[in-house]
Every structure is written in C-alpha cells, then in structure tokens.
Structure 1
Amino acid sequence: MRRGWLIAAAIVIALVLALLGAGRLGVFSGTPPTDLGVHDGRFKPPSATENSVSSQARLHAESRPPASARINPLPLRGKADASITRLRSVLEATEGVRIVLAAPDYLRAEARTRWLGFVDDLEFWVDPVDGVIHLRSASRLGRRDFGVNRERIDEIRARYLGLGPKPD
C-alpha cells in the first residue's frame, strides 16, 4: 500500500516538473497573431470564447463575443501623449508584461504567466474621436482564461488612474 502511494506521488511530481519545464521552454506561449493593431479605428474582434476583453466588443456584434468580453476604455488623463506615456510607465512596471510596440497613439504588449509561460496580447489605442484609450487583451491559447485578462486590465486601470500601487 505504501509503495503505491510513493509511486503515485513520484508520478505527480514528475508531471508537475514536466509541465513547468514545458512552460519554461515556451511550449504554452503560442504564436503572436498577425492581425493585431488598429484597422479603420478598430481592434480585431474579441474571441468568441471567454478568454479576452475589449472596449470595442460592442462594435463586433457580428462575431458574437460573449458578454464577458465587454470592458470600458481608459479615460485620457490630460493630453493623449501624456496619457500614453503614463500608461506605458504602468505597463513597464507590471510584472510579466513586456512592451512589444510603442507609438505615439498605440501600445502593444505581451503578458506572460509566471509558471507556465502562457502569453496574452494586450493592445491600447488612443481614439481621438471618443477621447479615450481603447483596449484589448486576449489569450493566445485556450478557450477560457478564468478572468485573468479582465483582472490584469482592472489592475492596470487602477494604477493608471492612480488608485492602486504606484509603478516603481
């Protein structure tokens, strides 16, 4: 009986180590989408599954994003360039987030989970017509993210607005 428990424990430990090793090797990072960016004032639609959020979800009713994909844009904090600079500082201070592309009105970043290395794509665009920063955050892999993208954006929003811990 005891020998069976030891074998089972050894198998579980081996599986956990294999998963962690696979994550470190980038097995779970996925491939960056080729259609990111702003096209005609829009991001690509949020996923049809529950693994993304977008402040433009309502603009993509034809792709039938779930209600969970809807999130509010960020307000501008002063002028557009100052707002994007502030947001960039918040992103740079966010653990696991790496800025991939920075323009005067657009930021693209990747957020990597600590243990398994799953990657989410984050986009932020200053909409001069609506006077907001539209955002999109989506998992590259999987059908559900258990609210991780929304939680990350909520944390970024709080720090951007000065309601959360200040970036270092």
Structure 2
Amino acid sequence: MIFAGKRPNNLGVNNGRLAACPNSPNCVSSQSTDAIHQIAPLTFNTSPEQAIANLKSVIQSLPRTTIITETQDYLYAEFKSALMGFVDDVEFYLDREANIFHVRSASRLGQSDLGVNRKRIETIRAELQAL
C-alpha cells in the first residue's frame, strides 16, 4: 500500500462533467478534447439500469478492484496494480439521453502509466460489448 496515494478530492460529477485530466499522460477521459487524454465514451443499447448493472458486473470481475461509490448515474472504483499497489481512480458517468457512459481513468501517482488506464477502459468496453 506504499504507492496507494491519497484519494483525490475532485472526483464526482460537476455540472455534467467529470474532473479534467491533469497535464500528465497517466489519465484518459471521454470528456477530454486533447489527443493524449481523449478516449471514446462507453456506449450501450440496453436500459440505463441494465447498463449500469452490466458495468458493475464487469468491474467486479476485474482483479484488485473496489467499487467505492455507486448511484443511479455514477460509479467510482479503485483499481490496484498487482506489483506495487499503485491505485488508479476510475469513474463512470451515465448520460441517459445519449446512451453512453462518460469515463475517466487516472493514476494517483507518477507521470506515465505505460498506457494502463487506456487499456483498462478498452478492456471494460470489450467486456461490455460481449454481454
């Protein structure tokens, strides 16, 4: 737990937006406009309730994951790395009108994440599409 860091205080949804990514490349967000941080939102074609249940199921199936906050339109989970216990904060915000989850995945510590946050979101996207 040496490398867990402190939980950021800027998490959550503010006026329909997740927190912006820091300048470091260890964050991706579907609401970011720059190429380094931009990632496509997660789409779904079920009811919003089923979509969030599916998302929760996928997240819980991934190793070293803890869901911290869950509401009807928001899910926040912590993902720990196997080797050093680094913690990434991952948020999902349900946009019911657009049938998408906005997503933000950010490392708490360090600069580079070697693409881990982007890979994680793409893994979650693939798992959701397979359901």
Fold similarity call, TM over 0.5: yes
2:122 counterpart residue number: 154
Matches within 5 A, 1:13-24: none
How many angstroms does 1:28 deviate by? 0.4
1:38-78 Cα deviation digits (max 9, x unpaired) = 000000101211000000002xxxxxxx5221000011231
* Root-mean-square deviation over aligned CA pairs: 1.2
List gaps (5 residues or longer) in structure 1: 1-25, 59-65
2:29 counterpart residue number: 54
How many angstroms does 1:37 deviate by? 0.3
Query: After TM superposition, which residue ranges in structure 1, 4 or more long, deviate above 6 angstroms?
Result: none
TM-score by length of 2: 0.95
1:109-161 Cα deviation digits (max 9, x unpaired) = 00000110000000001112332110000000011101000011111110011
Which of these two proteins has the greater Rg computed from alpha carbons? Answer: 1
Is 1:141 aligned with 2:109? Answer: yes
Name the one with the larger helix percent: 1
SS state of the match for residue 68, structure 1? coil
Matches within 5 A, 1:76-155: 76-155=44-123
Q: Distance in 2 between matches of 1:77 and 1:101?
A: 24
1:45 to 20, 27, 31: 20
Whose RCO is larger (CA < 8 A, sep 6+)? Answer: 2
**What is the aligned-residue identity percentage?**
40
Q: Distance in 1 between matches of 2:46 and 2:96?
A: 13
List gaps (5 residues or longer) in structure 2: none
1:18 counterpart residue number: none
Matches within 5 A, 1:57-72: 57-58=32-33, 67-72=35-40
TM-score by length of 1: 0.75
Q: Distance in 1 between matches of 2:36 and 2:115?
A: 9
- Read off the aligned partner of 1:51 and give its amino acid letter: N
Name the one with the larger strand percent: 2
Is 1:33 aligned with 2:1? Answer: no
